[in-house]
Chains A and B, each alone.
Chain A
Amino acid sequence: MAAKPKVAFYWCASCGGCEETVVDLHEDVLKVVEAVDIALWPVALDFKLKDVQAWKPGEVAVAFINGAVRLSEQEEWVKLLREKCPLVVAFGSCAHLGGIPGLANDKTRDEIFANKYFRSPTVDNPGKTLPQEHCRVNGYELELPNFWKEVKTLDQVIEVDYYLPGCPPPTSTVAAAVGAILKGELPPKGSVLAPEKSLCESCPRKDSKPERLSISRFKRIATSIPDPEKCFLAEGYLCMGPATRSGCGERCLHGNMPCRGCFGPTPGSLDQGTKMLSTICSLGEADTDETAQAYADSLVDPLGTFYRFSLPASLLRRSRRQEPV
């Protein structure tokens, strides 16, 4: 029997949803286990370093890496995997674009620490104790890792061959990608393994999108009820569809909620947020300064919405008011 190809799963700063999506293959996961040997699984974060170091180059065919990168420890790991594996796939929104943890690039590390350990209404910390990289407790030396001041995407740290977008990537996309890799039927290096079109093009509500969309004021889901059939933007709800790549299975839309952009920018677009901004500008129905202002004011949290999943990958990368990197 020919040796089964070996694959590795590894995770950085992530939530575990990408691993769950693999388990959600259900019965098919047994087929995956039959087809490949898993040489490293996400839980093995800092584990088997020596084993990985001992891999012959190419012995493990592909590394699927999820999560954003923010620790030097993670950097060492992904660099090692890059060295050993002919193919590296950025798995999920966080590795691809920084993901929701990447929103931390809008805040400083000091703010994060102060909110967590000083300002929290339940924290009782009169001595202003802060977690330390090195500390001594009753003579015991203890260490904690240092954090980078910004969250990075995987390709800001190592070269990435392919991207599997989504938060998390749908199981069908994962299965298709694994199949394509095993068969060697791969698109050009650097490709995002998802359709080359925008979400609007595959949207189940696209027929309700008018020829010319125009919005005078945005509505919020908190205080109004969207029609279950109609185009969200046509109804005045901010939907990231125009600036977002298709391939997610339109899951949020089926749940009657607008897109938040987890599949990342549309093909050919450099920056999801600026693409959405230009869309919003062209949709605005405003002919006076007042109406334009009212339109702009009705749009809440553009940064956190346009870049919900992609701030570290954006042209901005992070807020510039922070302490120096």
Chain B
Amino acid sequence: MPERITINPITRLEGHGKIEIFLNDAGDVERAFFQVPELRGFETFCLGRPAEEMPRITPRICGVCPTAHHMASTKCLDDLWKVDPPPAAKKIRELAYSTFYVEDHYIHFFFLAAPDFVVGPTAPAAERNILGVIARVGMDIAGQVIRVRRECRQMLQTMMGKVIHPVFGVPGGVSRGISEEERKQFLETAKFAVEFAQFALKLFDDVVLKNKQYVDLILSDAYTHKTHYMGLVDENNKVSFYDGQVRVVDPAGKEVAKFHPRQYRDFIAEHVEPWSYVTFPYLKQVGWKGFVDGAASGIYRVAPLARLNAADGMATPLAQQAYDTMYATLGGKPAHATLATHWARLIEALYAAERMRELLEDPEITSKDIRTVPTATPEEGVGIVEAPRGTLIHNYWTDGDGILTRVNLIVATNHNAGPIAMSVEKAAKGMIRGGQVSEGLLNTVEMAFRAYDPCHACATHALPGKTPLLISIFDSQGKLLREIRRDG
């Protein structure tokens, strides 16, 4: 008898998330659907608003990565008003953005991912949480994690007005500069962040890479998808978070597209399914071929591993070393192992910390020249940044007074919606055989989507160690056969 497994909620992506897994008569997984059962309609309710308010409105799409929306929106306003911010303003924005990356990547790694690796994927559920991590790594290390996060968040608060829902981005620059006193203090934070980033990578090496079982898990077929990859790159094709061109490589690592943000509509299209409120972006030149991987499918991935795959390297020395080590260990580039995303995330955090330090050692960062006031008539603008969870696109059209007439947003987890469904399906197929559903399924299925760090798996969820899941198994008549619950 065909069975249906519902995982609801996995919670929040512009709201909430739900996974439906269907078993065939043999009890094996036939199809999985990753559904997003919410839509808040930002593209519509922003119409009629003055465009300059968008950096203050769109962060409410996600309170975990508000800085990403704030920054994409602010860059979109530069383009809309055809204004080039002074160099110091760009550096201040990039400094804030790099700082945000450090704290955001760590909250994900330590609070959410680490329980699976430090405590163990099959450890008792009650221990598989942040408290379990603290118990194993000790209060000293836990204190350092809290410290790096606290210092970064305080820095963001000072620079951007608010750390959750920042306010400082304006067309042509920023509303507030950095004093020399602040620069000195921030530099201490940056130095600590660089030190901590190296430590975090060593911890990953000790705990994960020295454990054959974990390495096998990471490299196993159940967690592998050969897809296209997308990410922003700088002029040397190095990973870039704040600015650059969008580069796409195929599953063999060959560049198949590189485009300016303004051209995004020539390269990306969105597919609509009747069973989800989220749209499924794909590469326009390849086309929508369904939820399948490979070079012939338009499915592509974003987020840390995809960014590293889509680039030629890292722009800072320590991160470049770590980059080389990762690909040497994983057996070359591109790496298709979804779980290696955690490793890539730590390498990116090191890059972000190094970039913080570089920017804070640049005397121009305290310049008072932080704004170019727009004079052109606004019409259309595009702003693209790399959010921690992937490429983030804001596109606005206005009337001549800068009042919004049309808005198009493609958010980070949006790009990954198809791949997440595929990854969940594949992991479930690897776990569920003959209708046997183990508790381990709950966590391994979770691990498949958690690697993407989709918004619904954000760090705040994990504080008391709970990433709860409810799996209900129904028969084809809708009768509840079994219920498995994991409290985290």
Binding between chains A and B? yes
User: Among B38, B50, B146, which residue has its beta carbon within 8 angstroms of that of A301?
Assistant: B50
* Residue A79 interfacial (CB < 8 Å): no
Contact flag A100-B373 (CB < 8 Å), given A20-B164, A33-B464, A144-B277 = no
Whether B47 pairs with A107 at a CB distance below 8 angstroms is yes
Whether A121 pairs with B395 at a CB distance below 8 angstroms is yes
Binds B, one of A83-91, A205-213, A217-225, A278-286: A217-225
Whether A222 pairs with B272 at a CB distance below 8 angstroms is no
Instruction: Kindly provide the distance from the CB of A18 to the nearest chain B CB, expressed in whole angstroms.
Output: 7
User: Among A13, A100, A121, A253, which residue has its beta carbon within 8 angstroms of that of B38?
Assistant: A13
Binds A, one of B166-174, B243-251, B331-339: B166-174
Whether B12 pairs with A16 at a CB distance below 8 angstroms is yes
Whether A120 pairs with B274 at a CB distance below 8 angstroms is no
Whether B51 pairs with A135 at a CB distance below 8 angstroms is no
Whether A220 pairs with B52 at a CB distance below 8 angstroms is yes
* Residue B348 interfacial (CB < 8 Å): no
Whether A41 pairs with B466 at a CB distance below 8 angstroms is yes
Contact residues, A57-112 vs B (CB, 8 A): 71, 99-101, 103-104, 106-107, 111-112
Whether B274 pairs with A26 at a CB distance below 8 angstroms is no
Whether A15 pairs with B60 at a CB distance below 8 angstroms is yes
- Chain A residues with CB under 8 Å of B153's CB are 24, 26
Whether A122 pairs with B270 at a CB distance below 8 angstroms is yes
Contact flag A24-B37 (CB < 8 Å), given A15-B61, A220-B52, A222-B51 = no
* Residue B401 interfacial (CB < 8 Å): yes
Residue from B48, B164, B275, B401 with most neighbouring chain A CB atoms (10 Å): B164
* Residue B191 interfacial (CB < 8 Å): no
Contact residues, B428-484 vs A (CB, 8 A): 455, 458-464, 466-470
* Residue A300 interfacial (CB < 8 Å): yes
* Residue A153 interfacial (CB < 8 Å): no
Contact flag A46-B63 (CB < 8 Å), given A138-B31, A222-B77, A301-B48 = no
Instruction: Give Cα A255 to B269, complex, Å.
Output: 37
* Residue B371 interfacial (CB < 8 Å): yes
* Residue B39 interfacial (CB < 8 Å): yes
Whether B270 pairs with A255 at a CB distance below 8 angstroms is no
* Residue B318 interfacial (CB < 8 Å): no
* Residue A53 interfacial (CB < 8 Å): no
Whether B44 pairs with A251 at a CB distance below 8 angstroms is no
Whether A223 pairs with B373 at a CB distance below 8 angstroms is yes
Whether B35 pairs with A142 at a CB distance below 8 angstroms is yes
* Residue B194 interfacial (CB < 8 Å): no
Whether B164 pairs with A222 at a CB distance below 8 angstroms is no
- Chain B residues with CB under 8 Å of A38's CB are 464
Whether A26 pairs with B56 at a CB distance below 8 angstroms is no
Instruction: Give Cα A99 to B42, complex, Å.
Output: 13
Instruction: Give Cα A138 to B31, complex, Å.
Output: 10
**Contact string against A for B residues 41-64, beta-carbon threshold 8 Å, 1 for contact and 0 otherwise:** 101111111111100110111111
- Chain A residues with CB under 8 Å of B162's CB are 251-252, 255
- Nearest chain-B residue to A18 (Cβ)? B63
* Residue B33 interfacial (CB < 8 Å): yes
Binds A, one of B211-219, B322-330, B357-365, B402-410: B402-410
Instruction: Give Cα A167 to B57, complex, Å.
Output: 11
Whether A255 pairs with B166 at a CB distance below 8 angstroms is yes
Instruction: Give Cα A255 to B279, complex, Å.
Output: 35
- Chain B residues with CB under 8 Å of A5's CB are none
- Chain A residues with CB under 8 Å of B149's CB are 26
* Residue B235 interfacial (CB < 8 Å): no
* Residue A152 interfacial (CB < 8 Å): no
Whether B38 pairs with A19 at a CB distance below 8 angstroms is no
Whether A140 pairs with B22 at a CB distance below 8 angstroms is yes
Residue from B59, B153, B279, B373 with most neighbouring chain A CB atoms (10 Å): B279
* Residue B261 interfacial (CB < 8 Å): no
Instruction: Give Cα A145 to B402, complex, Å.
Output: 36
Instruction: Give Cα A29 to B153, complex, Å.
Output: 15
Instruction: Kindly provide the distance from the CB of B179 to the nearest chain A CB, expressed in whole angstroms.
Output: 12
Contact flag A116-B371 (CB < 8 Å), given A41-B464, A144-B277 = no
Contact flag A121-B265 (CB < 8 Å), given A17-B66, A104-B45 = yes
User: Among A116, A135, A223, which residue has its beta carbon within 8 angstroms of that of B39?
Assistant: A116
Contact flag A45-B20 (CB < 8 Å), given A16-B62, A116-B44, A256-B161 = no
Whether A43 pairs with B31 at a CB distance below 8 angstroms is no
Whether A123 pairs with B272 at a CB distance below 8 angstroms is yes
User: Among B20, B37, B274, B403, which residue has its beta carbon within 8 angstroms of that of A300?
Assistant: B403
Whether A255 pairs with B175 at a CB distance below 8 angstroms is yes
**3 A-B pairs with least C-beta separation:** A255-B161, A17-B63, A19-B460
Give 5 new A-B contacts, CB below 8 A, not counting A16-B64, A41-B463, A42-B461: A116-B39, A124-B271, A253-B161, A255-B167, A301-B53
Q: Which residues of chain B have a CB within 8 Å of any CB of chain A?
A: 4, 8-9, 11-12, 15-16, 20, 22, 31, 33, 35, 37-41, 43-53, 56-57, 59-64, 66, 77, 81, 107, 143, 146, 149-150, 153, 157, 160-168, 170-171, 175-176, 264-265, 268-277, 279, 281, 284, 288, 371, 373-375, 395, 401-403, 406-408, 410, 455, 458-464, 466-470, 485, 487
Q: What are some 17 contacts across the A-B interface (CB < 8 A)?
A: A22-B463, A23-B460, A44-B9, A45-B16, A46-B16, A107-B47, A115-B44, A115-B407, A116-B39, A129-B272, A223-B375, A225-B371, A255-B160, A256-B161, A257-B56, A257-B175, A260-B53
